[in-house]
């Protein structure tokens, strides 16, 4: 930092990561034009009041420190756009965080707590929230107050259920939830009219969904639906209402049949069915004129000729 202080007005970026810092000097406040500050992987548990002088700061990385709560001074960083707090132990945000009207990205991945920090709902400008590879067991009931959220990444946690207020995230386009322990989805998920990507499955099969709510069919903007590795025995008829769907991932779900309504997915291009126990496909699948590829289970090999007749322009892969 000594070098930066020699030309404080010209310093816009400062990397102090992995410097074994236990405290940050009050002199940091002299860097009035600082736009990016990386303090990650030190042993900081507090911040100096002079940090509030950094009115031009746009990105702050406090990952891997000893904070359990953020100090009030954080609310004075009124130009802050991105805040990175990965590998942290933070349990609460100060109420002053509501002053960060430009903060659009918050990364809490690998957070070492079972719940999101209190007062997170005050960051109403937030558009992207990442909490990947953490220990979350539940989401706050008021998460629906983050109405400007566009992208919510919660994969590789321990979530069993989701709050009803999730349906209030009207601007959400991407919802990533694979590798959790989900047993059900709230019916309010159908209110996410702008959702384009819903990822609820992966090859590890750690989610445990057995049914989908009928309201899933209300997701009119959905382009990709990932359900691989769940325990679905059937799909709701409303699945056919997903008119914007391009990709449907259903590998290893234990399905024994598909609803006739699947033939209504007029924009579907790729259908993943490997690892299921399907004896046949509904004839309505022949209506999927835009389908380019089907990844079919071994149980359908004897049906290959029929499928190819129904879908002459589709590649069938076993």
The domains found in the chain, sorted by start residue, are 232-318 (3.80.10.10)
pLDDT tens column, 79-121: 999 999 999 999 999 999 999 999 999 999 999 999 999 999 9
- pLDDT score at 3: 80
Average pLDDT, the chain: 96
pTM above 0.85, yes or no: yes
pLDDT tens column, 276-298: 999 999 999 999 999 999 999 99
- pLDDT score at 203: 79
Does 204 score more than 80 pLDDT? no
pLDDT tens column, 149-191: 999 999 999 999 999 999 999 999 999 999 999 999 999 999 9
- pLDDT score at 225: 98
Does 308 score more than 80 pLDDT? yes
Does 6 score more than 80 pLDDT? no
| Strand partners of residue 209 | none
pLDDT tens column, 127-158: 999 999 999 999 999 999 999 999 999 999 99
DSSP collapsed to 3 states, the chain = CHHHHHCHHHCCEEECCCCCCCCCCHHHHHCCCCCEEECCCCCCCCCCHHHHHCCCCCEEECCCCCCCECCHHHHHCCCCCEEECCCCCCCECCHHHHHCCCCCEEECCCCCCCCCCECHHHCCCCCEEECCCCCCCCCCHHHHHCCCCCEEECCCCCCCCCCHHHHHCCCCCEEECCCCCCCCCCHHHHHCCCCCEEECCCCCCCCCCCCCCHHHHHCCCCCEEECCCCCCCCCCHHHHHCCCCCEEECCCCCCCCCCHHHHHCCCCCEEECCCCCCCCCCHHHHHCCCCCEEECCHHHHHHHHHHHHHCCCCEEEC
């Amino acid at each position: 930092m000594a070098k930066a202080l020699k030309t404080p007005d010209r310093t816009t970026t400062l990397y102090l990561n992995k410097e074994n810092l236990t405290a940050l000097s009050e002199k940091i406040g002299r860097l009035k034009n600082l736009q990016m500050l990386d303090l990650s992987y030190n042993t900081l548990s507090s911040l100096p009041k002079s940090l509030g002088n950094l009115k031009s700061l746009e990105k702050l990385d406090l990952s891997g420190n000893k904070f359990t709560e953020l100090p009030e001074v954080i609310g004075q960083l009124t130009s802050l756009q991105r805040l990175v707090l990965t590998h942290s132990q933070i349990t609460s945000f100060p109420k002053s965080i509501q002053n960060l009207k430009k903060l659009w990205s918050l990364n809490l991945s690998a957070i070492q707590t079972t719940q999101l920090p209190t007062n997170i709902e005050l960051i109403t400008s937030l558009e992207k929230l990442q909490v990947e590879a953490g220990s979350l067991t539940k989401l706050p009931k008021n998460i629906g107050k983050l109405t400007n959220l566009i992208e919510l990444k919660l994969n590789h946690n321990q979530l069993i259920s989701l709050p009803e207020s999730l349906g209030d995230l009207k601007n959400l386009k991407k919802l990533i939830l694979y590798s959790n322990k989900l047993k059900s989805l709230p019916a309010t998920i159908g209110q996410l009219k702008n959702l384009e990507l819903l990822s609820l499955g992966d090859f590890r099969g750690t989610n445990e969904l057995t049914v989908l709510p009928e309201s899933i069919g209300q997701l009119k903007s959905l382009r990709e639906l990932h359900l691989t590795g769940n325990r679905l025995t059937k799909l709701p008829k409303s699945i056919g209402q997903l008119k914007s769907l391009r990709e449907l991932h259903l590998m290893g779900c234990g399905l024994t049949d598909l609803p006739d309504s699947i033939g209504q997915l007029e924009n579907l291009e790729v259908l993943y069915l490997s690892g299921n126990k399907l004896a046949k496909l509904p004839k309505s699948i022949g209506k999927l004129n835009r389908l380019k590829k089907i990844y079919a289970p071994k149980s359908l090999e004897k049906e290959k000729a029929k499928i190819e007749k129904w879908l002459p322009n589709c590649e069938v892969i076993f």
